[in-house]
Amino acid sequence: MSHPLAVAAIGFWHVHAGDYVRNVQQHPDTTLVAIWDDDEQRGRAAADEFGVEFVADLDELLARPALDAVTVTTATVQHRDVIGRAIAAGKHVFTEKILGTTVAESQELVDLAREAGVALVVSLPRLSDDYTVAIERVLDEGTLGELTYSRVRLAHDGWVAGWLPEQFGDPEAAIGGALTDLGCHPAYLTRLFHRADPLAISASYGHVTGRAVEDNAVVTAEFPEGRLGVFEASVVTTPGAFTVELRGTEASLMFGFGGERLLAKGGAFGDHWQELPLPEPRPGAFAQWVQHIHDGTTADDNLRHAVELTRMVVAANESAATGRTVSLTGEPVPVA
């Protein structure tokens, strides 16, 4: 293993490709050595921008003994093939969500990585953010009581402002629209806050811009004991928004809604909204990946979140397409 780790960037289809390249260049234990893309013009442009070699043959690149790891930001539909080839070549993998187009694909990649002894980490950045750390502390302390309802919304203006690449509207390459990409973050946060896997999913998608994939999405997840979690995404919202609302049997929490503040009210917090301090964030997903490589450990929590995220996204897409609630337990969903 090289010191620093030699990393290649695989694919520049996704808007976060450049962000992960900068992570590689800025981390003291990693160095960028090459770029591959199935679109040669796009790949060569990226290689010129970041000052490294462009390699046209992916298998030749993955076969290099001096290469330790790769970041993967190809089209979602290519993840199984590209990540699988990287794992087979013994390379550590940091990838953009979602991990696979199906739950079976995602679990297969997790199993392959574990068998090969390589570190696989999926970029789920909001698990590490300061507000998430603060909310988890409140949940641990029990001051919210029993969480009965949550709502997490993430939105931006990508398609009204014209900066979101048009390939994000390709249902085959992207496997979906606003929910599959942007809505992943509210989805895994919803599961985290409820500390349980949802029992059923129902979704409604809107097509404001007329593209083949949705640009507005609202999803309701049913959790044990009648608890509900709503997560939403939009790529046609100006200005963008990220909000969290948690309602418990004793108190409530709110984040966003016009400011980067976490507010609490009720029970031990009193009868008026009060601002809670935000702690230091956890190390980000990329830093965790590098640490797992050095330690020879598996990112069990991250991978569990990644597989269950795929399950939630696939169920939401099915629900929106069929107009039916989708069970995640194998049990039939009662019809009202």
Is the residue at 209 inside a domain? yes
Based on the fold, state whether residues 31 and 178 are members of the same structural domain. no
Q: What is the pLDDT of residues 112-121, one digit of tens each?
A: 999 999 999 9
Q: What is the pLDDT of residues 120-161, one digit of tens each?
A: 999 999 999 999 999 999 999 999 999 999 999 999 999 999
Is the residue at 305 inside a domain? no
Query: DSSP string covering 228-269, please?
Result: EEEEEEESS-SS-EEEEEEEESS-EEEE-SSSS-EEEESGGG
Domain with residue 236: its CATH number is 3.30.360.10
Averaged over 30-46, what is the pLDDT?
A: 97
Q: What's the domain count of the chain?
A: 2
pLDDT value, residue 258: 86
Of residues 245 and 333, more confidence is placed in: 245
pLDDT value, residue 5: 98
pLDDT at 45 exceeding the cut of 90: yes
Check residue 330 and give left, alpha or beta (phi > 0: left; psi -120 to 50: alpha).
Answer: left
Based on the fold, state whether residues 48 and 158 are members of the same structural domain. no
Averaged over 36-48, what is the pLDDT?
A: 97
pLDDT value, residue 250: 98
Which has the closest alpha carbon to 179: 212, 229, 214, 148?
214
Q: What is the pLDDT of residues 171-193, one digit of tens each?
A: 999 999 999 999 999 999 999 99
Averaged over 59-66, what is the pLDDT?
A: 98
Domain residues for the domain of 106 are 5-118
pLDDT at 335 exceeding the cut of 80: no
Based on the fold, state whether residues 62 and 174 are members of the same structural domain. no
Structure tokens at 73: 């930001």
Averaged over 288-299, what is the pLDDT?
A: 98
For residue 3, which amino acid is it? H
Q: What is the pLDDT of residues 77-114, one digit of tens each?
A: 999 999 999 999 999 999 999 999 999 999 999 999 99
pLDDT value, residue 243: 97
Based on the fold, state whether residues 12 and 84 are members of the same structural domain. yes
CA atoms of 48 and 89, how far apart (whole Å): 26
pLDDT value, residue 259: 87
* pLDDT band with cut points at 50, 70 and 90 for residue 332: low
Average pLDDT, the chain: 96
Is the whole model's pTM more than 0.85, yes or no?
A: yes
Give percent of the chain above pLDDT 70. Answer: 98
DSSP letter for 101, please: S
Domain with residue 78: its CATH number is 3.40.50.720
Structure tokens at 170: 């390709």
Averaged over 48-64, what is the pLDDT?
A: 98
Is the residue at 42 inside a domain? yes
Averaged over 210-239, what is the pLDDT?
A: 96
* pLDDT band with cut points at 50, 70 and 90 for residue 298: very high
Is the residue at 38 inside a domain? yes
Torsion of CA 144, 137, 196, 101, to 10 degrees: 130
pLDDT value, residue 334: 56
Based on the fold, state whether residues 24 and 163 are members of the same structural domain. no
Based on the fold, state whether residues 152 and 64 are members of the same structural domain. no
Cα–Cα distances (Å) from 168 to 149, 317, 319, 331, in that order, read 31, 15, 20, 34
Based on the fold, state whether residues 44 and 26 are members of the same structural domain. yes
Based on the fold, state whether residues 91 and 133 are members of the same structural domain. no
Based on the fold, state whether residues 184 and 236 are members of the same structural domain. yes
Q: What is the pLDDT of residues 228-284, one digit of tens each?
A: 999 999 999 988 799 999 999 999 999 999 889 999 999 999 999 999 999 999 999
